[in-house]
Structure 1
Amino acid sequence: MARETLKVTAGFAGLALGLSACGAAGGPSDIPTGPPRDGGTLKVVGSSDVEHLDTASANSVGAYGLTRTFARTLFATKASNDFNEAVALQPDMAAELPTKENGGISKDGRTYTVKLRKGVQWNTKPPRPVTAADFVRGFERLCNPASPSSAKGYYTSTLKGMDRYCDDFAKVDAKSAQAIADHQNRHDIDGVEAEDDHTLVFRLQKPASDFLNLLALQFTAAAPQEYDRYVPDSAEFRRNTVSNGPYQITEYRPGSSYTLGRNPAWRRETDPLRGGHVDKIQITLGQDSAQAVQQQLEVGTADLSWDHPVPTSAIPRLRNSRDPRFAIRDTPSNSPYVVFNTRSPNNDGALGERAVRQALQYAVDRTALIKIVGGPEIAQPLHTVIPPGSSGHAPADLYPTPGESGDPARCRRLLADAGYPDGLRLKFPYRTNSVHKLIAESLKANLEACGVHAELSPDAGGTFYARTLSSPDRTRDGAWDIAAPGWTPDWYGNNGRSIIQPLFDSRDYGPGSTNYGGYDNFQVNGLIDAALTAPEPSHAAGYWRLADQKIMEDAAIIPLLNRAQPIFHSSRVGGAVFLPTTAGYDYTRVWLG
């Protein structure tokens, strides 16, 4: 997904001033300036633990921000408050970007050769170099049966032999670390080879114009041989992460806290994208109140928010006072959206019927949701799967309502036409952090107005995605009917694949899938294939656009908002530079005054 511009904005009125100005231990004028200083503890506070800590399966903006501190990829982006700089692909563990001109990409576009940067080490005892074989292991772990990557479809549809490798891997005992390691060590992926310790060769099924972007995703981070000892993403794994970045996890209390300290094996000269200024990063979880977190940031008892944007009530005050600690960063996304469980047996399988899903499109009052998240500078109504600024986006609205406020009468009429004159009863789990409860309550009221009762249930503790939406068994059993997840693309630029494929390709449906509702349309699958093999990004964009149109005709989801990120840091923080794909500041670049 591509963002249009990175902005610090001001100027929307009419919102109630909620959080009163807090007495601060150091005001905005005390923000440190000058060259970065080393030392101190960065204090990060927030709500929920990550669903996955293992880079193979990590799939949330919070997890991306955390794993970036200790797990390096071949390519990555550099945090910056200039959007174009923040999304430009750059070498990380790779020595350079491969091109046809430098011999890194073959003339037919099907072979990529990547040379590794020298001097990067694991924090083992004693430290040892990160090798090409460690990257091969990272790819082999993507489709492990215990905690498979939700993004494995990116790679099975691109790399030679990976689909066959993954099919075989699915048959392995998911509870046995030994069986999982044996499969990885005895089977190869045809398209991923360590030519020597410093050279990787990738062979593609067909040319893919976005392949380097795939090599920049956290899923493909190098994995040390020690990871063979543990079931992927298990509790034991989480206690034994290994680092090749500037920080290492020194203590982890599930659902409660992370403590990260310096990695003594990391060398600044070997890492062009990260810093390593603070001595320690302390992440404290379990704080569900955005207002309470904001107060801690303003008085200086905490420095950054983990997963809460600035609360809606505080935004006018911060904007009006021109507080330099406050910014609105443009992060085009589909966040949140309503997803339908098309496989639910509830209501006699009503949500599997397109006419029912189309009727419910008219229920939503987007103006209410915009007020909840902070007003028109924070969010705009969204009616397409692909948000503005992303490959394949084209403005469209197949289900218009007056003033974006919903049309409950039409919703009721269409439900009756579909055979449900008495409405529906829907199970609706919601996330407990940030404004998600308020969003769920607003959507519940919208649905009630058109004769649909939504039974809300809080889903906290990092289970919303991992154990509820991404579990095919719970989906088939009707544990939920609708939900309001969010989707921030995994990258920006030539990024149509990062939206349509993970959310709607039925061929990748299974444990860990982000096609939460089990949507299945062979025409959409065909358009995905056409886009992936298009010779030029502009051609791919056309296929993504057609896929978007078909998905919206099927009413597989209800797009709601394209949201920016209101963000704040304490007066101690210098070097606050933004990572769009993490919706936050880069912990490794922050320094403290």
Structure 2
Amino acid sequence: MRKRAGLLVPALSMVLVACGGGQTTATGSGPQRGGMLRVVGSGDVDHLDPSSSYTVVAYNLGRTWTRQLVTYPAGSDISVAGNVVPDVAAALPKVSDDGKTYTFTLRPDVMWNTSPPRPVVAADFERGLKRLANPVQPSGGISYYTQTIAGFQEFFTAFQKQPKTAAGMAKFMNSTRIAGVQAVNPTTLKIQLTAPASDFLNIMALGFASAAPVEYEKYVPDGPDFRQNTISAGPYQIETYFAGRQILLEHNPVWKQSSDPVRRRWVDRILVTLGQDSPDVVQQQLEAGVADLSWDQPVPTSAIPRLTGNPAYKVYEGSTLNPFLAFNMQSPNNNRALANVKVRQAINYVVNKAAIAQIYGGSKINSVLDGAIPPGSIGYDAAVRPYATPGGRGDVNRCKALLAEAGVANLNLQFPYRTNGNHPKVAQSIAGDLTKCGITTQLIPTAPDDFYGRYLSSVQKSREGKWDIGAPGWIPDWYGNNARSIVVPLFDGRNYTEGSTNYGAYNDPAVNDLITRALTAPDARAAEGLWRRTNARIMADAPIVPLTSQNVPIFHSSRVRNALYTPLTQQFDYTQLWLAS
């Protein structure tokens, strides 16, 4: 989802593949205030709480009502959108000569929409960081912080042993410090690292690192009470939230443009209507002007030929693992067959990746992927293709041979899939490939908001074998020097816990050691070689089947102006656009 300035490796160029230009502002028209932006789509956010939300739709929504010390500016071009800029911090932090101490000075006029309104202070950011380690719904990106901030790992370990009640968690947070985090005074926050980290500002620009008001201590993180009592410091506030149905945002009355250098506020309201599982219907609504933006549905593959040339349609280049096939290596099903590397390698061989690319619009929109790190991200190596097949179409014979070597037959895999977008077609395609190798699947249709929380990211469900394979997607949290944002959340097994995005509980000591060495390398150039070795080692273990790296076709209604695409979310930034009269 994100990236930063000052990289020692060339940043990924987010160029337009078709239709040129990053904005769609009508000639001669300036910004207009008012109106309701109508967003329509399928599933709810994974989590509304910024401490645990980890999907692009949740991040894009969070940009309207949460604030961070530093963030990313609006802009379709990665050279702009990828540079970390101040947000609640008045300027980028002062960094000590040894690169281990960051001192942030806060703007004094950023306000919470409480009664009465009060300033966002350094203690709110300290609280926000602490909440990432909560034992009920810990952040999926927790490793970013435990691996960099002094004392965070110890704090996380201790927090996991605390009562899972709002009162118990509040008591622990108020009596226990993160050694490396100190609210010196209301406008000064000091963070001490265990070692220099050239990507630390990228980590602090993530939505996880949002400020958290003291009122949040009354609620279980992301619980039902929390979702009905969100507090805003951004240009909008959540007026109503109906799980799985509707989200309505209205103006935050205490937000001031002078206190926010990044966001704007042109539209009066943002209405997100959920429950529309058909991308074709969503596309029809956008073209008819009944809706303005898609929440989570892709441009239908069938619509791409006729949309080419339409100024409201563009394709942006991506660097993603989207989708990929994850293996639940702790599943007890089939006598723990997926714990056998030969079984995972066999499945790597049989999947027809070219067919998956076709589902998403063909080779002009997507590229077949064979490694754990996609092109455009540090650590990508075109030579790492251990299970490549001619044209990416799969090799049934290699699959059968490896299963025979493993002494495994009659596999029956639990395969949950999301019911929105192209996910049903992806699941059916993969299931058909597995059948050719003698592997049957039980396809489990799953609501998009349940796919992760009730299956892939649930420790209990994973250990019970409620799923064996699943096809999630991954968008790097930033670009350029960004392997931490791919490899750590997906493959570092040292912090596997509830909500983890290391879906299969992959944990290889050699990979973990390479990760540590890469993260503490003196510069990105030195890190790149280590990330390449990490990529190769991961693929030798085959904890996933890489499928495609997708470019992003995107469309908006004819009345949308200044539609700025954000590579971090693969969506348009709600805080930048306005509506034609």
Which band: TM-score by shorter chain? over 0.9
Partner residue of 2:129? 139
**Cα deviation, residue 227, structure 1:** 0.4
The answer to whether the aligner puts 1:212 opposite 2:195 as a matched pair is no
1:545 aligns with 2:553: no
Structure 2 distance, partners of 1:199, 1:390, is: 34
Instruction: Indicate whether 1:331 and 2:318 are aligned.
Output: yes
Aligned to 2:422: 435
Work out whether residues 245 and 273 of structure 2, in 8 Å CA contact, stay in contact via their aligned partners in 1: yes
Deviation at 1:394?
1.2
CA distance in 2, matches of 1:283, 1:414: 48
Shift, 1:84, TM fit:
1.1
> 1:301-335 CA distances to partner (integer Å, 9 max, x unpaired)?
1000000111000000001xx10000111221100
Per-residue CA deviations over 1:259-294 (Å, capped at 9, x if unaligned) read: 000001111111111111000000000000000000
8 Å contact 2:44–2:274 — kept in the other structure?
yes
User: Residue 78 of structure 1: CA displacement?
Assistant: 1.4
Instruction: Supply the distance in 2 between the matched residues of 1:186 and 1:565 (Cα, whole angstroms).
Output: 46
8 A contact 2:149–2:194 mirrored in 1: yes
Indicate yes or no: 2:1 matched with 1:6.
Answer: no
CA distance in 1, matches of 2:76, 2:170: 41
CA separation of 1:30/1:224 partners in 2, compared to 1, >3 Å: closer, same or farther? closer
SS of residue in 1 equivalent to 2:95: coil
The letter of the residue matching 1:398 is: P
- What is the deviation of 1:50? 0.8
SS for the counterpart of 1:317 is helix
1:87 to 82, 86, 108: 82
Per-residue Cα deviation, 1:536-588 (whole angstroms, up to 9, x for no partner):
11112222211111010001111000001110000110010011111100001
Amino acid at match of 1:262: H
SS in 2 for 1:212: helix
Say whether residues 1:199 and 2:188 are aligned partners: yes
Post-superposition shift, 1:31? 5.2
The aligned residue for residue 175 of structure 2 is 186
Q: Take 2:49 and 2:75, find their aligned partners in 1: how far apart are those partners?
A: 26
Q: Distance in 1 between matches of 2:13 and 2:67?
A: 27
- In structure 1, the partner of 2:228 is 239
How big is each residue's C-alpha offset from its partner over 1:73-96, in whole Å with a ceiling of 9 and x where there is no partner? Answer: 111111212221111111111111
Other-structure match for 2:395: 407
What amino acid is aligned across from residue 38 of structure 2 in structure 1?
K
Given the superposition, is the C-alpha separation of residues 33 and 433 from structure 1 closer, same or farther in structure 2, using an over 3 Å criterion? farther
Alignment of 1:416 onto 2:404 = yes
SS of the residue aligned with 1:137?
Answer: helix
> 283-292 or 532-541, which moves further after superposition?
532-541
Partner of 2:55: 60
- Say whether 1:357 aligns with 2:344: yes
* Aligned equivalents of 1:6, 1:576: Cα separation in 2: 16
Show CA shifts across 1:457-476 (max 9, x none): 11105111112111111111
**1:266-281 maps to which residues of 2 (within 5 A)?**
266-281=255-270
User: What's the CA shift for 1:34?
Assistant: 2.3
Q: Is the 8 A contact 1:78 1:579 kept in 2?
A: no
Task: Report the Cα offset of residue 7 of structure 1.
Answer: 3.3
How far does residue 10 in structure 1 lie from its aligned partner after superposition?
A: 3.9
* Secondary structure at the counterpart of residue 582 of structure 1: coil
Which whole-Å CA distance do the structure 2 matches of 1:548 and 1:362 have between them?
18
Measured against aligned partners, the alpha-carbon deviations of 1:419-462 in whole angstroms (never above 9, x if no partner) come to: 02x34111100011110000000001111111111111111051
Q: Residue 16 of structure 2: SS of its match in structure 1?
A: coil
Corresponding letter in the other structure for 2:260:
D
Residue in 2 that maps onto 1:14:
none
In the other structure, the counterpart of 1:21 is none
Residue 32 of structure 1: how far off its partner (Å): 7.2
Which 4+ runs in 1 deviate beyond 4 A?
28-33
Is this contact kept in 1: 2:24–2:561, CA < 8 A? Answer: no
Percent of aligned positions that are identical: 49
Aligned to 1:18: none
Number of the residue aligned with 2:7: none
Mark the CA change 1:330 to 1:29 in structure 2 (over 3 Å): closer, same or farther: closer
Quote the residue 1:487 is aligned against. 474
Instruction: Tell me, yes or no, if the aligned pair for 2:24 and 2:312 is still in contact at 8 Å.
Output: no
Maintained 8 Å contact 1:120/1:270: yes
Letter in 2 for 1:454: T
Secondary structure of 2:545's counterpart equals: strand
Cα distance 1:29–1:123, how it changes in 2: closer, same or farther (>3 A)?
closer
Alignment check: 8 A CA contact 1:430 1:483 kept: yes
Partner of 2:32: 37
- Alpha-carbon shift at residue 30 of structure 1 (Å): 10
Q: Relative to structure 1, is the Cα distance of residues 46 and 32 closer, same or farther in structure 2, using a 3 angstrom cutoff?
A: farther
- 1:33, CA displacement in angstroms? 5.4
Alpha-carbon deviation of 1:125? 1.2
Name the structure 2 match of 1:118.
108
- Distance, in Å, in 2 between the alignment partners of 1:115 and 1:560 is 44
Equivalent residue of 1:455, what SS?
strand
Q: Which amino acid letter does the alignment assign opposite residue 163 of structure 1?
A: Q
1:507-552 Cα deviation digits (max 9, x unpaired)? 1111011110011100011011111111111112222211111010
Separation of aligned partners in 2, 1:585 and 1:376: 24
**Structure 2 vs 1, CA of residues 33 and 436 (structure 1 numbering), >3 Å: closer, same or farther?**
farther
Pairing 1:312-391 to 2, within 5 Å after superposition? 312-319=301-308, 322-391=309-378
**1:541-580 → structure 2 map (5 Å cutoff):** 541-580=528-567
1:415, 1:423 within 8 Å by CA — same for their partners in 2? no
State the AA in 1 paired with 2:325.
V
Structure-2 separation of matches of 1:339 and 1:539: 29
Give the alignment partner of residue 385 of structure 2, picking from 397, 408, 414: 397
Is 1:285–2:274 an aligned residue pair?
yes
| Per-residue deviation, 1:158 | 1.0
TM-score after normalising by structure 1: 0.94
> Which residue, 209, 222, 235 being the options, matches 2:211?
222
In the superposition, relative to structure 1, how do residues 336 and 461 fare at CA in structure 2: closer, same or farther (>3 Å)?
closer
| TM-superposition CA deviations, 1:380-432 (whole Å, max 9, x none) | 00111111111111112111212211011211111111102x34111100011
Q: For the structure 1 residues 186 and 327, does the alpha-carbon distance in structure 2 shift closer, same or farther, using more than 3 Å as the test?
A: same
Partner amino acid for 2:311?
A: P
Consecutive unaligned residues of structure 2, counting only runs of 5 or more, are 4-10
- Give the direction of change, closer, same or farther, for the CA distance of 1:232–1:431 in structure 2 (3 Å limit): same
Deviation of the 1:6 alpha carbon: 2.7
Residues 30, 571 of structure 1: 8 Å contact kept:
no
Instruction: Tell me the number of residue pairs that the alignment of Structure 1 and Structure 2 aligns.
Output: 568
- 1:170 pairs with one of 140, 160, 177: 160
- For residues 81 and 155 of structure 1, the distance between their equivalents in structure 2, rounded to whole angstroms, comes to 28
For the aligned residue pairs, the C-alpha RMSD in angstroms reads 1.5
Alignment partner of 1:64: what SS? helix
Q: Distance in 2 between the 1:30 and 1:244 partners?
A: 28
* TM-score, normalised with respect to structure 2: 0.96
* Equivalent residue for 2:515, pick from 513, 521, 528: 528
Please tell me the residue identity of whatever aligns with 1:120: V
Distance in 1, matches of 2:448 and 2:406, equals 37
1:301 equivalenced with 2:290 (yes/no): yes
Q: Are the counterparts in 1 of residues 76 and 567 from structure 2 also a CA contact under 8 Å?
A: no
